[in-house]
Amino acid sequence: MVELQANTWLTRYNTLRLPARSRYFVCATDRTLLLQAVAQARRDELPLLILGGGSNLVLRGDFPGVCVQLATRGITANQWDSDWQWVTAQAGESWHDFVRTCIANGWYGLENLALIPGTVGACPIQNIGAYGVEVKDYIDAVELLDLASGEVRELSGQDCRFGYRDSIFKGELRDQVVILSVRFRLRRTPQLVIGYQGLAEALAGIADPSPQDLFDAVVALRQRKLPDPAQIPNVGSFFKNPVVDRARYRQLLTRHPGLVAYPDAQGMKLAAGWLIDQAGWKGFSDGPVGVHRQQALVLVHTGGGDGAQLLALAARIQADIQRRYGVALEIEPRIYGSPRLPAGLCW
């Protein structure tokens, strides 16, 4: 039977380094451990938190249930045809290592998603995206454990209802399933996406860039522009880019001629980082939490703070952006935990 650790600090398991404990914790390196932990949580009627790399969640306080860090590994090449290669990766695989493995094997499409922290199992949750590519375009199916029925089943990419940083796993199936593995359908012939300004510039000097060149350019760009969570704890973009209809966009543009926005299927996608920057928040700090000095979309924790302080700062920014632009900013990472237990107390 699986042994759950009691009163475990999750500080090192979340990239914001927020101090919070879980009533029980286990690192599941195989499916049997996962199933046993799930059964135990169910028997004791405790909530369950599935953790990957902890790079897209905010621990507001202690978690009163069972936290399972999913660390299952394995990458398998499945069938192929003249255009596509199907590949299955287990949930606990590191996302960045998986992207690197794909390129090394001649399986293409994921290059723009290099250096995104976290695990393969979390990639469908918010349909990770960067530099004009979203993972949904390469997900064939997701294998999942249905927590209500205990059944293992497959959901096709189409049934995952992917949207902009969104999926069924953030809606109807939120906390209802554990993603066990993801099957990708990858290109056998590269088709590079290099439209984003920074990328186009980085690759301008290369006559016929290869997928490896693109991967290297994305890694270099991200290392230059984004704070490394190991140095400055963060969860990447704290807010989603809001999408408004075109009439609203034109109104905003009249009042804010420098407004940065891009066409989107639903209207216009506003650069949330620009809104926050223009409102004067970039570099702002409030004790242990603040806004990164180069990336207004990234909230940081410089040590000694907690999730409640970080969320209070986020709420101030949301209120200010609403007041100035009439635009609602939605928090991107998922929030867990109840108020922290008083020091010295445990479950």
Has 237 been annotated as catalytic? Answer: yes
Binding pattern for the stretch 63-102 against ligand FAD, x by CB under 6 A and - elsewhere: -------x--------------------x-----------
Contact status: 229 vs ligand FAD (CB under 6 A): yes
Whether 80 contacts 105, CB under 8 Å = no
State which of positions 155-194 bind ligand FAD (CB under 6 A): 178-179
Has 248 been annotated as catalytic? Answer: no
- Residue of 42, 256, 324, 334 interacting with ligand FAD (CB under 6 A): 334
User: φ and ψ at 94, to 5 degrees?
Assistant: -70, 130
Whether 301 contacts 234, CB under 8 Å = yes
The token pair that represents 156 in the structure block = 């096709």
Has 185 been annotated as catalytic? Answer: no
The DSSP code for 119 is B
Contact status: 124 vs ligand NAP (CB under 6 A): no
- Residue of 26, 51, 173, 226 interacting with ligand NAP (CB under 6 A): 226
In the complex with ligand NAP, which residue's Cβ is closer, 149 or 191?
191
Distance (Å, whole) CA 91 – CA 143? 9
Q: Which does 114 bind (CB under 5 to 8 A by kind): ligand FAD, ligand NAP, none?
A: none
Give first-to-last CA distance, the chain, whole Å: 22
Question: Tokens 């590079």 appear where?
Answer: 192
CB-based burial label for 237 (10 Å; 0-12, 13-18, 19+): buried
Contact status: 223 vs ligand NAP (CB under 6 A): no
State which of positions 233-272 bind ligand NAP (CB under 6 A): 236-237, 241, 262, 271
Strands (E), the chain: 5-9, 21-28, 48-51, 57-59, 63-70, 75-80, 84-90, 129-130, 133-134, 139-146, 152-156, 177-187, 234-237, 243-244, 261-264, 267-270, 285-286, 289-291, 298-301, 334-336
Q: Count residues near ligand NAP (CB under 6 A).
A: 18
Which residues have a Cβ under 8 Å from the Cβ of 230 and sit 6 or more positions away? none
List, as one string, the DSSP characters of 327-345.
-PPPB-SEEE--SPPPTT-
Among 60, 100, 165, 187, the active-site one is 165
Contact status: 226 vs ligand FAD (CB under 6 A): yes
Q: Which does 196 bind (CB under 5 to 8 A by kind): ligand NAP, ligand FAD, none?
A: ligand NAP
Q: Is 88 helix (H, G, I), strand (E, B) or coil?
A: strand
- Residue of 33, 41, 103, 116 interacting with ligand FAD (CB under 6 A): 116
Chain positions contacting ligand FAD, by CB under 6 A: 15, 49-57, 70, 91, 116-119, 121-123, 125-126, 128-130, 178-179, 226, 229, 234-236, 334
Which residues form the catalytic set?
A: 165, 237, 332
Chain positions contacting ligand NAP, by CB under 6 A: 129-132, 195-198, 225-226, 236-237, 241, 262, 271, 273, 295, 332
